[in-house]
Structure 1
Amino acid sequence: MGSIKQQMGGREWAMLLALALLWGGSFFFVEIAIGSVSPLAIVFLRVVLAAIALWCFSACAGVSIPRERPIWSAFAVMAVLNNVIPFSLIVWGQRDVGAALASILNATTPFLTVLVAGVCLPDERMAPNKVIGVMVGFFGVALVVGGNRVIDLGQDLMAQLAIIGAALSYACAGVYGRRFKQMRINPIAVATGQVTMSSLVLALLVLVFGVALPSPNIGWTVWLALLGLGLFSTAVAYILYFRLLESAGATNLLLVTLLIPVVATGLGVAVLGEALGAADYAGMALIGVGLLTIDGRFLIAALPRL
């Protein structure tokens, strides 16, 4: 398996910022659509639109899509870990949790990735700064969730746990997806194969559970949200995702969730009128400190001044 950059350069950070904008917008798009479209239908339409867009883009760009069965088996595993499970859990959770809070809880992804990668990947073993970052980050998540919500096992808590479960699935996907670099598969082909398999799995679930797809008269704002979710927050986002995963590794890639809450919170507060409490902002700040500590440069810059 080829080596990855432990610290990212300007190109990687630029892609990370773009990915944060695309994924931060996904929580905003879901918040618009969830009142008119069922959770599973949203997820299904998201990946179908992304698959169509990626196949068209691959054809125009001259990217060859592999046909070997082992590769498509790997695409299927990646689809379940990176799309089917987390997309479904997040959309289900957002019925009871707003876009801003959902994005903050999703920021547990890099902490969970540190743990999973530390066990599974030789070149991403847990270092002291990563251990400290994980501990600080989990304190931030605990502050956001709140002790009274943990005691009261209600629907709100279950929705939050669903989003944290999605973060764990993303962490496993980030670690599993490292194998595509060893296979020497173009990141665009990986993104195309992943969402194609996601579409097939979700189509089966839609048929089995008899999920109704939205009618044409649900409103243009909902359709625009679904298009934005599929084309930008999925198709374009996963091209960037696999390029970053190839060059920067799973732990660095999933630092993107530091930036996603900022984008989602800004959109949720400015457009949807959502509100966050002081504990939510304090928890988000702790999550940010934890992620910067995992990156390592925060401690390097601070130590000489101590």
Structure 2
Amino acid sequence: MSTTDAPSARATSADAPAPGSAPAPVATSTASRSAQDAPAPRRTFAWQIRFAFLCLVWGFSFLFIKLGTEGFAPLQVSLGRVAFGALVLLVFLVIKRERLPRSARTWGHLAVAALLLNALPFSLFAYSELTIPSTLASICNATSPLWGMALSVVALSEDRPTRRRVAGLGIGFLGVLTVLGAWQGFSGTDLTGTAMALGASLSYPIGWIYVRRTLARDEHSHLAKSSAQLLLATLQLAVVTALFTPMPTAFPAVPLLAVFALGALGTGVAFLLQYGLVAEVGPTTAQMVTYFTPVIATASGVALLNEHLAWNTPVGAVIVLAGAALTQSKPRTS
């Protein structure tokens, strides 16, 4: 999914969530700082099961998007995604007896975050998969950390470029060119769809930087801010969808179930899992889900959607992930 769909659990702007990822990076960022500041809790075997489930959910998010667009317009898929995700978080908000934020300032900043981190990238990915395979969309999503590193150097003065990170950036974009088959003149690749998928992956770090500048010290709970953010994204997409998309005349079962899974599991439940993983095993381990998501998305696309896989796609994906890992790594201190 993201987003989903490849998430990041660290509090740096260079770590961008996937489209199938947690609905509210605001909460994840705050959770990351809490996890870094607090003593590491005792690990249990259960975290490995949750980690594997999160990889599967976000890996299958791109397949869910593809299936959803077979029965609904892209904006309707995105609207269903945020609506079902918001419903899940609101249920947990009630269970925990928490309240939504009351500050107008917080709601204003969350509205921008909802646009940059949910409404816009979710819609771009849905539109992109009308013309490109879900495998390519998932690999484009894996470039988010690369965009984030490049942007953080410009927008965040505390993020200084290092040789390691610059090398990772160069390697990552070399991988993108490999995936797209640049030596063949990008033949066989829909450039519009690919550009939309890359634009979606770029939207995530832009949103993270905005959140870091505006909501880093906000006192509201992670769950409350995440729920509010998805509610705002639902409102935004509801307005846009009503203006530009006619009401569906049918609700086919498979696309409808795909949208439900994309929202309830890939956006709502996935956030709760990610937040728990960050608190239990730390952000460094939790963010490793980023590197499994494209693998699962590629396997599901080839196996279940019969998508063609040329040699340069998996090779380029490995190069992209290697570059992304290098931009997020830190030199060992003795």
TM-score after normalising by structure 2:
0.77
Gap runs ≥5 in structure 1: 302-306
Which residue number in structure 2 is paired with residue 51 of structure 1? 86
- Verify: 1:29 aligned to 2:64, yes or no: yes
Greater helix fraction, Structure 1 or Structure 2 = 1
1:171 to 205, 213, 232: 205
Which residue number in structure 1 is paired with residue 7 of structure 2? none
1:169 is matched by which residue type in structure 2?
S
Moved more, 58-67 or 82-91: 58-67
Task: Evaluate the alpha carbon distance shift between residue 258 and residue 166 of structure 1 in structure 2; reply closer, same or farther with a 3 A threshold.
Answer: same
The separation in 2 between residues aligned to 1:294 and 1:52, in whole angstroms, is 35
Deviations 1:240-283 (A, max 9, x none): 5667899978x998765433211211211222222211111110
Gap runs ≥5 in structure 2: 1-10, 12-29
Task: Evaluate the alpha carbon distance shift between residue 134 and residue 214 of structure 1 in structure 2; reply closer, same or farther with a 3 A threshold.
Answer: farther
- Checking the alignment, whether the CA contact within 8 Å between 1:76 and 1:198 is kept in structure 2 is yes
Which residue number in structure 2 is paired with residue 284 of structure 1? 317
CA RMSD of aligned residues (A): 3.3
Deviations 1:184-221 (A, max 9, x none): 332211211111000111111122114323623x12x2
The separation in 1 between residues aligned to 2:157 and 2:286, in whole angstroms, is 17
2:60 is matched by which residue type in structure 1?
G
Secondary structure at the aligned position of 1:215 is classed as: coil
1:231 is matched by which residue type in structure 2?
A
2:291 to 251, 255, 258: 258
TM-score after normalising by structure 1:
0.83
Deviations 1:23-74 (A, max 9, x none): 2221011111211111111111111111122112111122221111100011
- Checking the alignment, whether the CA contact within 8 Å between 2:138 and 2:294 is kept in structure 1 is yes
Count of matched residue positions in the alignment of Structure 1 and Structure 2:
294
- Checking the alignment, whether the CA contact within 8 Å between 1:44 and 1:202 is kept in structure 2 is yes
What is the identity percentage for the equivalent residue pairs of Structure 1 and Structure 2? 30
C-alpha deviation, 1:295, in angstroms: 3.2
2:198 is matched by which residue type in structure 1?
I
The separation in 1 between residues aligned to 2:51 and 2:211, in whole angstroms, is 17
Mapping 1:103-142, distance limit 5 Å: 103-142=138-177
1:177 is matched by which residue type in structure 2?
V
